[in-house]
Amino acid sequence: MDFAKFFQYIASGTAYTVGVTLIALPFGLVLGLILSLMHVYGGKFLSRIMAVYSTIMRGIPPIVLLFILYFMVSGNINLSPFWAGSISLGIVSSAYQMEIIRGALLSVSGSQMMAARSIGMSRMQAIRHIIIPQALRLAIPPWSNEAAIVIKDSSLVYALGVPEVLRRAQLISASTQEPFLAYITAGLIYFALVFITNRLLNRLEKRLAIPANP
Amino acid sequence: MAEPILDIKGLTKAYGNNVVFHDIDITVNEGDTVVIIGPSGTGKSTLLRCINLLTKANAGQIWLDGDEITAHGHNEDEVRQHVGMVFQNFLLFNHLTALDNVKIGLSKVKKLPNEVAEEKAMQELSRVGLVDRAAHYPGQLSGGQQQRVAIARALAMDPRIMLFDEPTSALDPELIGEVLEVMRNLAREGMTMLVVTHEMGFAREVANRIIFLENGNIVEEGSPDEMFNRPKYERTRSFLWKISELYGDMESEA
Ligand SMILES: Nc1ncnc2c1ncn2[C@@H]1O[C@H](COP(=O)(O)OP(=O)(O)OP(=O)(O)O)[C@@H](O)[C@H]1O
Ligand SMILES: [Mg+2]
């Protein structure tokens, strides 16, 4: 067996894994941010709907949701499995990211809003210039967790036939009879991605930290 | 002749069945400093929040500069620009430097061009003696400095009246003096102020009038001399005696 080719075959799936993550994560972030704002500031009715959305989305295994959403998405628009899978994962993630950002919004809280209103800011201005910048900073550590989860969950799109890391590991393990080596390789790749991402987000958190005396 | 800047008539506020205050009348004339005192939970903070419409009163009317701001359909954001508010626990925007805290209302609310806003913000910081702290974040400032930035932030909007809600009660004793000094200067410059405080030294020296609020009613009001030396009611005397005892008549000499 040609080990170089073996590893290279699996590793070349990394581009898909990274690609799925880079679509799903920001998609979930934007959606999660919008939903969390509606949850916190949108009044009783919207807040109720968001709570239901969150409960349902977080109560179903991601793989099941992925299939449901995939067939909903790809049934309506003509999208490749890669795109449909990525967006579906993004939607799954949006529920978790909504909760993360909602918690952060709530903890920046009423008093900063009151201070902003006291100088004549509208609610919208206060949310945009005062609440969100602080809430997003607070959200980085829990968000970093969610980023790791999305990286790992990106492996689920293997079920849609997207040739990402896990899919390739599966294919090559079948053809070479080296399942252990194949899955260890895949595992190491995921681990490396999660590790690097956490490091980067850690650095981002430090960089964006609001200066304060110890 | 002094014009009333703030005129409150029959103001009533209740949370559910809990009537915080009932049928309150207060007038504050241009250039006056009016001090409100009263026991905890008596509705002093609620009163100030009603005045700049952060809380809605249940009944009564408020005129600011002859304009009825409690009138239906009045632009609340516009009103708040003209009513400066200083909170007990400063409430600076934590993610902004001292300068940006002062500047943000000028650029986002008044929509002044950047250089103009920056220059004006610097002027306000120098008014409270903090030009050298312009680039510091709230977390890098002492409580007294934070409160002075908060005062500058409110002043930057050129308010017609400044409301202070126990501005020194969250401060370490040695930091109280610098904040009171800024407030004293404001009074001297002719700023109209409504101040909730227990600093009786400040009240004696600066206030034109002291209002004693208890259980949601104005028990008594008068000049510092009247209130301290010949109050009409025993309640006033004993309350003043108690807070003078508790907080000291003189502010800490720092
Ligand atoms: N948002 C609110 N909801 C319900 N009750 C409230 C609310 N805000 C204040 N109250 C009640 O109104 C009353 C007056 O509160 P307020 O904070 O105005 O008093 P205060 O005179 O400022 O007291 P302190 O000296 O402790 O600051 C209290 O009984 C308080 O429990
Ligand atoms: Mg209070």
* Residue B15 Cβ contacting ligand 1 at under 6 Å: yes
Is the pLDDT at B84 greater than 50, yes or no? yes
- Show residues of chain B in contact with A114, CB under 8 Å: 54, 87, 91
Neighbours of ion ligand 2 (CB under 5 A): B 45
Q: In what order do the strands lie in the sheet with B4-15?
A: B18-29, B4-15, B59-64, B67-68
* Residue B46 Cβ contacting ligand 1 at under 6 Å: yes
Q: What pLDDT shows up at residue A213?
A: 84
Chain A, chain B: beta-carbon pairs less than 8 Å apart: 72
Q: What pLDDT shows up at residue B1?
A: 53
**Which of B12, B42, B163, B199 has the most ligand 1 atoms within 8 A of CB, as the residue to mutate?**
B42
**Length reported for chain A:** 214
Tell me what percent of the residues of chain A surpass a pLDDT of 90. 87
**What is the helix (H) or strand (E) element at residue B152, kind and residue range?**
helix B143-155
Q: What mean pLDDT, rounded, does chain B reach? A: 93
Is the pLDDT at B254 greater than 70, yes or no? no
With CB atoms and an 8 Å threshold, state whether B139 touches A212: yes
Residue given tokens 């008539």 in the structure block? B9
Contact B184/B204 with Cβ under 8 angstroms? no
With CB atoms and an 8 Å threshold, state whether A121 touches B52: no
Q: Please list, in sequence order, all residues whose beta carbon lies within 8 angstroms of the beta carbon of residue A119, skipping any fewer than 6 positions away.
A: B80, B81, B85, B104, B105, B109, B153, B154, B156, B157
Q: What is the dihedral of CA A54, A55, A60, A66, to 10 degrees?
A: -20
Q: Would you list the DSSP string of A48-64?
A: HHHHHHHHHHHTS-HHH
* Residue B36 Cβ contacting ligand 1 at under 6 Å: no
Average pLDDT over residues B145-168: 97
Interface predicted TM-score of the whole assembly (ipTM), two decimals: 0.92
Split at pLDDT 50, 70, 90, the class of B248 is low
- Please state which CATH number belongs to domain A3-208: 1.10.3720.10
Contact A49/A39 with Cβ under 8 angstroms? no
The pTM assigned to this predicted structure is 0.92
* Residue B40 Cβ contacting ligand 1 at under 6 Å: yes
Going from N- to C-terminal start, the domains of chain A cover 3-208
- Cα gap A211→B136, rounded to integer Å: 8
pLDDT in tens, A123-147: 999 999 999 999 999 999 999 999 9
Comparing alpha-carbon positions, the chain A residue that sits nearest to B106 is A119
With CB atoms and an 8 Å threshold, state whether A129 touches B89: no
CB burial string A125-135: b at 16+ within 10 A, e below: bbbebbbbbbb
- Cα gap B99→B104, rounded to integer Å: 9
User: A102 CA to chain B: closest CA distance, Å?
Assistant: 18
Q: Please list, in sequence order, all residues whose beta carbon lies within 8 angstroms of the beta carbon of residue B218, skipping any fewer than 6 positions away.
A: B24, B25, B26, B211, B212
Comparing alpha-carbon positions, the chain A residue that sits nearest to B78 is A120
- Show residues of chain A in contact with B140, CB under 8 Å: 211-213
Is the pLDDT at B67 greater than 60, yes or no? yes
Average pLDDT over residues B153-166: 97
Q: What pLDDT shows up at residue B72?
A: 87
Number of H helices, E strands in chain A: 9, 0
